[in-house]
Amino acid sequence: MDIFINGEKVDIGIKSGKLVTVLERIESRIMKHGEVIVELKLDGESVDGRELPLNKKVKVLELKTRSHREILIESLYLLEIYTEKFHKSFEELEENPEDITKIFELVSFVEWALGIVLSIKEATKIDMIYSDFDEYVVEFKKYAQEMIEAFKKEDYTEVVEILDGAIFDLVEDLRVNCKDYLKEIIKEEGRKNLLN
For 80, the enclosing helix (H) or strand (E) is helix 68-95
Measured CA to CA, the distance from residue 73 to residue 166 in angstroms comes to 25
Task: Indicate the pTM of the whole model.
Answer: 0.76
First-to-last alpha carbon distance for the chain, in angstroms, is 28
Q: Over its length of 196 residues, how does the chain's per-residue pLDDT go in tens digits?
A: 888 889 899 888 776 667 777 888 888 888 887 788 888 888 888 887 667 776 677 788 889 988 888 888 899 999 989 999 999 999 998 888 888 999 999 999 999 999 999 999 988 888 888 889 999 999 999 999 999 999 999 999 999 999 999 999 999 999 999 999 999 888 887 776 665 5
Confidence (pLDDT) at 195:
58
Do the strands 2-5 and 60-67 form a parallel or antiparallel pair, or are they unpaired? parallel
Measured CA to CA, the distance from residue 120 to residue 113 in angstroms comes to 11
